[in-house]
Structure 1
Amino acid sequence: MVDQDTARASTEDRQKAIADAARVLIAERGFEGLRTRDIADRVGINIATLHYHVPTKQALIRLVAQSLREDFQAQHARRPRQGLDARSRLELEFADFRELFETDRQLLVVMAELGARARRDAEVAAEIVPLHATWNGQIAALLAEGRDDGSFHADIDPAALATIVIGAMTACLRHPVRAPDHLDAVFAQLRRAIIRT
């Protein structure tokens, strides 16, 4: 008889492998190029086994979104924010994005691909819009805190500026110069627009 903890671990490992394979394919081909047969081939399983773990498109998208969420949470855990002021937390947001830009650009590309698809696919939107909303809410909250404590410009609109900050960072993925130096220049401009000197 198979131990339940072993079976659960095996299922979790298989689901992680499926999510990882789907992310690679989304990054390489876009959402439109994602095929379940290709995922199964990359994981080394047959299509029936894949469908056992992800029986629907929605289940696959949910699995990928959960894997993205877990990666973001793990990154945040490596740089705790508790007790830090708004300016320090803003710098950590920039540092986190720069780290992904340099070491795990695939994660950012997958988020962008799913975000684009979400505009015309309700199933994708149901899974990816909450991730974007959480990120936007975190940035807006720290901008509001910094405005209120006087470290950021008094006339900023936190919700609108959060959209600008996230938009500027993610636009660097599509910019012809995809170098960290360009990203740093974008961060410098954002600091001037946000931080009181």
Structure 2
Amino acid sequence: MVEDELVGMIALADMVRETAQEAIASLKDKGIHSVMLTGDNKKVAHWVANQLDIDEVYAEVLPDKKADQVKEIKSTKGWQVAMTGDGVNDAPALATADLGIAIGAGTDVAMETADVVLVKSNPKDVVSLIGLSKQTYRKMIQNLWWATGYNIFAIPLAAGVLAPLGIVLSPAVGAVLMSLSTVIVAINARMFTYDKQ
């Protein structure tokens, strides 16, 4: 101020990362509802949420109430909740969520509490994590079906079900067939391709 007259002003604000916008857009494309849970001021939180196109905002939430908010979202909406955080204040909520994701640059408490720790501070890694987990689950189901089907056929054969027809497996052939099942499951697991996009 000069002679009681305002001549200038400095405003500070956190810049919203472009990768955060891309991450939220990708989550929406996958049908995932995004929620901001923060201790920040309501105006700031809503401004950031508008920039990112976040679906829902809970602002001015005290650190000890974040876990309660996660529990409420899970119970009232029946959603599975993945929580991303990096601070001591986030640790209880990370533990309460179905999936706690800590940022590698965050506090030790958050990293110890979370189920997954992201090495980089890139929000898009959350989207990659979800895609990777879905593909891993798909591979597990494929291998489970293969092993089950193979054993449904092979165990009765090894037990001598076809012996009345003159077909008898020697123990050596049974061992080779059992090993073949393991090899096929291992090869299928190795044929894992993951597209980050």
TM-score scaled to structure 1, two decimals? 0.26
Instruction: Identify which of structures 1 and 2 has the higher relative contact order when contacts are C-alpha pairs closer than 8 Å and 6+ apart.
Output: 1
TM-score scaled to structure 2, two decimals? 0.26
Of Structure 1 and Structure 2, the greater strand share is in 2
Structure having the higher Rg: 2
